[in-house]
Amino acid sequence: MRRLIAATHTSLAVLVVLTLAGVGISAGASTARAQPDARKRQAAAEAYDRGTAAYLDASYGEAAQWFETANRMAPAAPALMQAIRSHQRAENFARAATLALRLGEQYGADAAAGEYSKNVLADLAGQFTRVDVSCDQECKLDLDGKLQEFHSFFLEPGHEHQLVATFETGSRSESIAGQAGETRAIQFEAPPPPPTPPPGETTTETTATTAVDVKHKPLRPVITIIGAALTGALLAATIVSGIDTNAGVNDYKKAVADYNACHSNCTAKDNLAHKLYSDGHGKEIRTNMLIGATAVVGVTTAVFALFLTDWSGKKKPARLETAALRIAPLYGGAMGVLEGSF
């Protein structure tokens, strides 16, 4: 009989800690930092439970993402093996083979993990191009515009891919393609650092920018006060949403227990458990979105308060405003660069 796995919803205590941290409130921060590993293990367990529930519901792509998340938070062979199985069921075979490589590298000494890695690679490796990347310094890889977390991975054969390695001193790129069963070894060397200007030498642009930053803060206090009020409102809504989310946890757990204990005519209990899970999942998504919004607004308000708000209460002389208008056109190019970046 198929059993449901209860997914633990976000606890109100963690919710409040996260939201308060997002708006810059540091009370109790030292206590929170004392148990980072425990929090990660708890989050990994929750992600693993979600992956199991998605797998049982045949949502294999979603399950794979949850299992990978669990492995990132608390690396463990079972999470990685479940991610591989889920990707295979979802027919994401290149990703499954890549994770099998990782499984063999990390847990090859474990008999079960090592054997499983070899079996998956024996089935899938010949269908793809393997790429092994080495960098002479620490680097981050970007494949076709997406972050590539591993330095050994598999690609679809017969297609050209763009691989970029980013170092502290710059980036290098290379177009790669290969045939099924082929292995490509790619080596990247870090670009040399830019030349250091002689001591005391500063550009006109740097000097002008410093002068404008020091003498003029563009925002009035009322803007920051509005941001603080909005942050408080979002925090209150987040807490209310968290309470509402957790209110249904016990009902859901009871429904799951009733279903697991049932041996005949269990359809109604099954439907109730799924309905409570769906309702709770929707509420949790809402709460997580409120957490994110609260953090963004809180951090933005803090930046405004510290760096962009003029708290002196003094009106700027007309002569200074005129000077600022004359300076502004000199930075048209810099503004254009910023607009292009976004």
Q: Dihedral sign for Cα 252, 255, 260, 261, please.
A: positive
Q: What are phi and psi of 203, to 5 degrees?
A: -85, 160
Asked whether residue 143 falls in the same domain as residue 58, the answer is no
Mean pLDDT calculated for residue range 11-36 = 40
* Assigned domain for 341 exists: no
Q: Are 128 and 157 in contact (CB under 8 A)?
A: yes
Mean pLDDT calculated for residue range 298-310 = 82
pLDDT at 75 over 50: yes
The bridge status of strand 129-135 relative to strand 146-148 is: unpaired
Asked whether residue 119 falls in the same domain as residue 45, the answer is yes
Helix, strand, coil percentages for the chain (3-state, nearest 5): 65, 10, 25
- Mean model confidence pLDDT for the chain: 77
Residue 3 CA: distances (Å) to CA of 56, 273, 274, 334: 8, 11, 11, 60
Confidence tier at 232 by pLDDT (50, 70, 90):
confident
| Total domains in the fold of the chain | 3
pLDDT at 85 over 80: yes
Asked whether residue 44 falls in the same domain as residue 116, the answer is yes
Tokens of 108: 């090859």
Asked whether residue 154 falls in the same domain as residue 115, the answer is no
* Assigned domain for 199 exists: no
Asked whether residue 121 falls in the same domain as residue 134, the answer is no
* Assigned domain for 339 exists: no
What confidence score (pLDDT) does residue 331 get? 33
Q: Are 273 and 255 in contact (CB under 8 A)?
A: yes
Boundaries of domain holding 66: 35-126
Q: Terminus-to-terminus CA distance in the chain, angstroms?
A: 52
Burial of 241 (0-12, 13-18, 19+ CB in 10 A): buried
Asked whether residue 121 falls in the same domain as residue 177, the answer is no
Task: Give the pTM.
Answer: 0.48
What percent of the chain has pLDDT above 70? 75
pLDDT at 276 over 80: no
**Residue 85 vs residue 316, higher pLDDT:** 85
pLDDT at 215 over 60: no
| Sequence-separated contacts (24+) of 281-288 with Cβ below 8 Å | 281/7, 283/9, 283/241, 283/244, 283/245, 283/248, 284/9, 284/10, 284/245, 286/241, 286/245, 287/10, 287/15, 287/238, 287/241, 287/242, 287/245, 288/10
* Assigned domain for 205 exists: no
Confidence tier at 176 by pLDDT (50, 70, 90):
very high
CATH number at residue 120: 1.25.40.10
What confidence score (pLDDT) does residue 306 get? 82
pLDDT at 158 over 80: yes
* Assigned domain for 3 exists: no
